[in-house]
């Protein structure tokens, strides 16, 4: 996603120093990196890739380790019905709304060690440091690990945080199917989780003071601009759907070219068309749109048969809702045109369509102030990737802190963030938690 950000180089001269007591409380860097590494080993595969798909055994194992660490830190653990994990540190006013801090532990297929995990382990480290340092906090603080932020298994993202925000419908869940045809609804009911129980997971906004999330940038901007921290202003939202072309499976040797109804060739034309359409919407200021076909299923999928069925996943994203919606519409009309010209049928299956989300301006200003105070160069920027924060922003004030990603690579075994940056981001998170937990509402 394009940078639409503004650069800031911290200048302490201009910011008068006020009482900022958390500056004397420092995270335990060794412990943070030790726990990050321990979680990263769960699901490790070839080339250092990590795979912990939602509801897989590896995902559950990583969550088990987190619960152990939350317990060791003396936090009060609560697991809700979908499996979101909370570790609570009480504040001076136990009935005050809580500051939620976290991210996710599930990963994409063959992903990296940092996406989501940095935010969960960073939240844990910040909160256990505050507990050990007996730092006075007016509000309670809860470390949270959300279930199923990644869409790589079901095409459906931010499952746990969407439920907390009351943003999921029964239809959303029934449409969600993985590559093997396993329905999300069936997995849930096998675990004794039913829709009737999930609808009640929505958290009352009155119980929340704010949500904070530390995350790797997953893009190249911070590294390129030599910035240490990204202050996130907004999050691009995806519109996702499946396109299914149905032609005629037939013999690859006997069917003349002009008599074929090849569903995959229709899909190939659509893939090219999506790239062309998105390239026309590449103006950063008008709201750059990106479009991706990341999964393709072909039937019968053998070397000697013409594909009779091709199913594509389409993911269209932008910071600007109108631009994204226009592109999604154009993609659908292109698909219809291709189907008509090639004599195949086309069908669309919705996955989910969301609106871009603005994060809280006051938390953004607070983050800027903290960076100024610490003399850290920072960038004010939108997020092209989706995050749990985009759901939480619907029920509370949400803020996000980015740290640099080497060469901007993410959702790949090559994903890397410098341990020093991870520690720095966690320290900024800690200081933000203290300020937000103690601010008057």
**Strand, coil or helix: 103:** strand
Task: Identify which of residues 248 and 412 has a Cβ nearer to ligand GLV in the complex.
Answer: 412
CA 140 to chain centre: 25
Binding test (CB under 6 A) with ligand GLV, winner from 150, 354, 360, 388: 150
Binding test (CB under 6 A) with ligand GLV, winner from 386, 399, 413, 425: 386
* Torsion 261-267-272-274 (CA) sign: positive
Task: Identify which of residues 21 and 179 has a Cβ nearer to ligand GLV in the complex.
Answer: 179
Select from 113-121, 131-139, 195-203, 322-330 the region that touches Mn ion (CB under 5 A). 113-121
Task: Identify which of residues 115 and 311 has a Cβ nearer to ligand GLV in the complex.
Answer: 115
Residue 388 in the binding site for Mn ion (CB under 5 A) = no
Binding test (CB under 5 A) with Mn ion, winner from 106, 115, 262, 354: 115
Task: Tell me how far, at minimum, the Cβ of 132 lies from ligand GLV, in Å.
Answer: 32
Task: Identify which of residues 97 and 386 has a Cβ nearer to ligand GLV in the complex.
Answer: 386
Residue 307 in the binding site for ligand GLV (CB under 6 A) = no
The pair of three-digit structure tokens given for residue 345, joined into one six-digit string: 């049928």
Residue 391 in the binding site for ligand GLV (CB under 6 A) = no
Residue 125 in the binding site for Mn ion (CB under 5 A) = no
* 154: phi then psi, degrees, rounded to nearest 5: -110, 0
Residue 116 in the binding site for Mn ion (CB under 5 A) = yes
Containing 72, the helix (H) or strand (E) segment is: helix 57-72
Task: Tell me how far, at minimum, the Cβ of 85 lies from Mn ion, in Å.
Answer: 16
Give the other-Cβ count within 10 Å of 336's Cβ: 13
Containing 119, the helix (H) or strand (E) segment is: helix 117-132
Task: Identify which of residues 118 and 385 has a Cβ nearer to ligand GLV in the complex.
Answer: 385
Task: Tell me how far, at minimum, the Cβ of 233 lies from Mn ion, in Å.
Answer: 18
**Strand, coil or helix: 428:** helix
Supply the DSSP symbol for 257: G
Select from 21-29, 150-158, 265-273, 417-425 the region that touches ligand GLV (CB under 6 A). 150-158
Residue 385 in the binding site for ligand GLV (CB under 6 A) = yes
Task: Identify which of residues 175 and 309 has a Cβ nearer to ligand GLV in the complex.
Answer: 175
CA distance to 12, 139, 206, 219, 264, per residue, from 96 (Å): 33, 5, 9, 37, 57
Q: How many Å is the maximal CA-CA distance in the chain? A: 81
Helix ranges (H only) for 181-282 are 184-190, 195-198, 221-224, 263-280
Residue 122 in the binding site for Mn ion (CB under 5 A) = no
Residues of this chain, 151-170, that bind ligand GLV according to CB under 6 A: 151, 157
- Bridge partners of 283? none
- Give the contacts of 233 (CB within 8 A, at least 6 positions apart): 5, 358, 359, 364, 380, 381, 382
Task: Tell me how far, at minimum, the Cβ of 258 lies from Mn ion, in Å.
Answer: 44
Task: Identify which of residues 151 and 432 has a Cβ nearer to ligand GLV in the complex.
Answer: 151
Task: Tell me how far, at minimum, the Cβ of 213 lies from Mn ion, in Å.
Answer: 9
Task: Tell me how far, at minimum, the Cβ of 72 lies from ligand GLV, in Å.
Answer: 29
Do the beta carbons of residue 170 and residue 189 sit within 8 Å?
no
Task: Tell me how far, at minimum, the Cβ of 236 lies from ligand GLV, in Å.
Answer: 8
Around 189, how many Cα atoms within 13 Å sit in the side-chain half-sphere? 9
Select from 2-10, 112-120, 272-280, 306-314 the region that touches Mn ion (CB under 5 A). 112-120
* 329: phi then psi, degrees, rounded to nearest 5: -65, -45
- Give the contacts of 386 (CB within 8 A, at least 6 positions apart): 149, 151, 157, 158, 235, 236, 237, 238, 317
Residue 176 in the binding site for ligand GLV (CB under 6 A) = no
| Interacting residues toward Mn ion by CB under 5 A | 115-116
| Interacting residues toward ligand GLV by CB under 6 A | 150-151, 157, 385-386
């Amino acid at each position: 996603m394009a940078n639409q950000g503004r650069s800031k180089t911290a200048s302490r001269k201009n910011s008068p120093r006020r009482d900022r007591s958390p500056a004397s409380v420092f995270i335990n860097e060794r412990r943070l990196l030790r726990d990050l590494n321990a979680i990263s080993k769960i699901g490790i595969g070839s080339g250092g890739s990590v795979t912990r798909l939602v509801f897989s055994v590896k995902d559950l194992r990583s969550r088990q380790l987190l619960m152990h660490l939350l317990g060791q830190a003396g936090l009060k653990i609560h697991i809700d019905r979908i499996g979101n994990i909370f570790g609570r540190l009480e504040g001076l006013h136990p009935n005050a709304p809580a500051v939620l801090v976290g991210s996710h532990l599930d990963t994409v297929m063959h992903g990296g060690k940092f996406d989501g995990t940095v935010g969960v382990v960073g939240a844990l480290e910040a909160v256990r440091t505050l507990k050990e340092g007996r730092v006075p906090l007016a509000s309670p603080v809860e470390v949270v690990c959300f279930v199923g932020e990644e869409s790589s298994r079901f095409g459906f993202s931010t499952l746990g945080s969407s439920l907390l925000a009351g943003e999921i419908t029964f239809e959303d869940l029934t449409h969600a199917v993985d590559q093997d045809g396993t329905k999300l609804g069936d997995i849930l009911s096998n675990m004794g989780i039913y829709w009737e129980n999930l609808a009640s997971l929505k958290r009352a906004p009155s119980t929340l003071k704010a949500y904070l999330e530390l995350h790797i940038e997953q893009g190249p901007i911070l590294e390129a601009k030599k910035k240490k921290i990204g202050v996130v202003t907004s999050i691009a939202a995806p519109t996702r759907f499946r396109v299914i072309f149905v032609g005629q499976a037939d013999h690859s040797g006997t069917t003349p070219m002009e008599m074929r109804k090849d569903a995959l060739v229709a899909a190939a034309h659509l893939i090219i068309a999506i790239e062309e359409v998105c390239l026309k919407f590449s103006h950063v200021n008008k709201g750059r749109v990106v479009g991706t076909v990341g999964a393709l299923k072909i039937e019968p999928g053998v070397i000697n048969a013409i594909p009779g069925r091709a199913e594509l996943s389409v993911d269209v994203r932008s910071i600007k809702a109108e631009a994204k919606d226009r592109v999604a519409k154009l993609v659908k009309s292109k698909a219809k045109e291709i189907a008509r010209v090639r004599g195949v049928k086309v069908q669309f299956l919705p996955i989910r369509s969301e609106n871009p989300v603005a994060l809280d301006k006051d938390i953004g200003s607070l983050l800027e102030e903290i960076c100024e105070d610490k003399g850290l160069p920072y960038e004010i920027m939108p997020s092209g990737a989706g995050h749990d924060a985009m759901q939480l922003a619907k029920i509370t004030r949400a803020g996000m802190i980015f740290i640099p990603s080497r060469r901007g690579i993410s959702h790949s075994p090559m994903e890397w963030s410098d341990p020093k940056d991870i520690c720095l981001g966690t320290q900024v998170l800690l200081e933000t938690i203290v300020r937000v937990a103690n601010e008057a509402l």
